[in-house]
Amino acid sequence: MRDIAINLRARSDQRDLIDRAASSLGRNRSDFMLEAACEKAQSIVLDRNFFALDDETFTRFNALLDAPIDANPALDRLLARRPLWEK
C-alpha cells in the first residue's frame, strides 16, 4: 500500500513521452515513473557502495589504504584555519 505522495512538475512533452513508454509496457504513469526512479536510485547507491576488483588490484588497493599518509603542508594549513562560520 502506497501512503506517500511524490509530486513533480514536467513539461507536456516529457509527460507525453513518459505516458507513451508506460503504455507500451502496459503500465500507468505513476507505476512507470516510480519503477524508473527506483532503478536509477538503486544504481547510484550501488555504484557508490560496491565495486569489484580482481585479486591483484584488490591487494594493491588495500596496500594504498594501509600505507602511511604523506605529509601535506597545504592541507595542514587549511585544517589549522578557523572556519568562516566560527569567526
C-alpha angle with apex 38: 50 to 5, nearest 5 degrees?
A: 140
pLDDT of the residue at 54? 94
pLDDT digits (tens, 9 = 90+) for 30-71: 999 999 999 999 999 988 887 789 999 999 999 999 999 899
pLDDT of the residue at 7? 93
Residue 61, CA distances (Å) to 2, 25, 57, 69 in order: 43, 43, 6, 14
